A = this chain, B = another copy of it.
Amino acid sequence: MKNNSITALLGIRYPIIQAGMVWASGWRLASAVSKAGGLGLIGAGSMYPEIVREHIQKYKQATSMPFGVNVPLLYPDIDKIIDIIVAEKVPIVFTAAGNPNLWTKHLKSNGCIVVHVVSSVKFALKAQEAGVDAIVAEGFEAGGHNGREETTTMTLLPLVKKAIKLPLIAAGGIGSGPAMLAAMALGADGVQVGSRFVATPEASSHSAFKKAVLEAQQDSTELTLKELTPVRLLKNPFYDKIKALYAQGTSADELSQLLGRGRAKKGMFEGDLIEGELEIGQVAAQIDRILPAAEIVNEFIATYNEALERLKKLD
């Protein structure tokens, strides 16, 4: 695969970015992906600032390959996280869930490449205006927090591609090389892959959660809690409680109370499949084994090339 705008921008071999997922994406996973030629991201969303620093430093000890930190902009200690990123000279920052005007200039003036995650054309344009270097367009099928528009990757990508001039990364539903090829056909320059990298030995997620991901079928996830922040969850007894509240005609307050604090940690990090929140994408239905992150990167490239050869034969 030749160099393109994303591999050139990020200094990587393959345009495959491992998503900075809460409770999954620490230095181990990020360094395994980067060493394999993709881009590893440390997911700051589930880390206290000092833990972020620790993961950045451990990453640097593991490899000198490029890496990034994913920062949800609504993070309460955002200024501390940004200070650490700047002090540690993190080369790449993926920002999400917030206003790209807030930190883009500061990060860029400190030498960071900034990529912003959006689920709509409107926010893609806002991010471009804020001066980011690339956009991630994330479709409805993605795991975890997601847009209210419910636009799928297949329909979102052409809209964003038409609206912006920046390099474009597709996210949501990218579980294999053929899906990566599909995203590139739709105009993406690279892909961000989340769920597949949860099912790796390097992900810091609890083994019980990883096992639940392997067992997931086509209808095992749902985008819910739209009154708060929409999130795609694996259906489990905690999800059943959410549904029971909806059936009674619930309020955002009640949902917020049920959600409480620490549900995501309880589910994905501590492995409580009953009471925990289990965030994963629709791709979970395609995952049937735990593979080292490097093997996933290699499988993506091999099956991407196979799928491209199939398309060429149709020509």
Question: Which residues of A are at the interface with B, using a C-beta cutoff of 8 A?
Answer: 1-2, 4, 120-122, 139-141, 148-156, 158-159, 172-176, 178-179, 181-187, 218-219, 222-223, 248-249, 281-283, 285-286, 305, 307-308, 311-315
Q: Is the CB of B286 within 8 A of A158?
A: yes
Instruction: Report how many copies the assembly holds.
Output: 2
Query: For residue A283, which residues in chain B have a CB less than 8 angstroms away from its CB?
Result: 155
Instruction: Tell me the minimal C-beta distance from A281 to chain B in angstroms.
Output: 8
Q: Is the CB of A178 within 8 A of B173?
A: no
Quick one: which of B122, B155, B222, B282 contacts A155, CB cutoff 8 A? B282
Q: Is the CB of B308 within 8 A of A315?
A: yes
Quick one: which of B151, B219, B249, B308 contacts A282, CB cutoff 8 A? B151
Query: For residue A187, which residues in chain B have a CB less than 8 angstroms away from its CB?
Result: 178
Return the chain B residue nearest A217 by Cβ: B121
Query: For residue A281, which residues in chain B have a CB less than 8 angstroms away from its CB?
Result: 155
Quick one: which of B152, B181, B222 contacts A141, CB cutoff 8 A? B152
Query: For residue A305, which residues in chain B have a CB less than 8 angstroms away from its CB?
Result: 315
A185-B181 contact, Cβ under 8 Å, with A120-B218, A153-B152, A158-B286 = yes
Return the chain B residue nearest A184 by Cβ: B311
A218-B178 contact, Cβ under 8 Å, with A159-B285, A286-B159, A307-B185 = no
Q: Is the CB of B4 within 8 A of A314?
A: yes
> Which of A4, A120, A182, A184 is most buried by chain B, counting CB atoms within 10 A of its CB?
A182
**A181–B122 alpha-carbon span in the complex (Å):** 26
Q: Is the CB of A154 within 8 A of B141?
A: yes
Instruction: Tell me the minimal C-beta distance from A200 to chain B in angstroms.
Output: 19
A179-B154 contact, Cβ under 8 Å, with A2-B315, A311-B308 = yes
Quick one: which of B151, B173, B223, B313 contacts A150, CB cutoff 8 A? B223
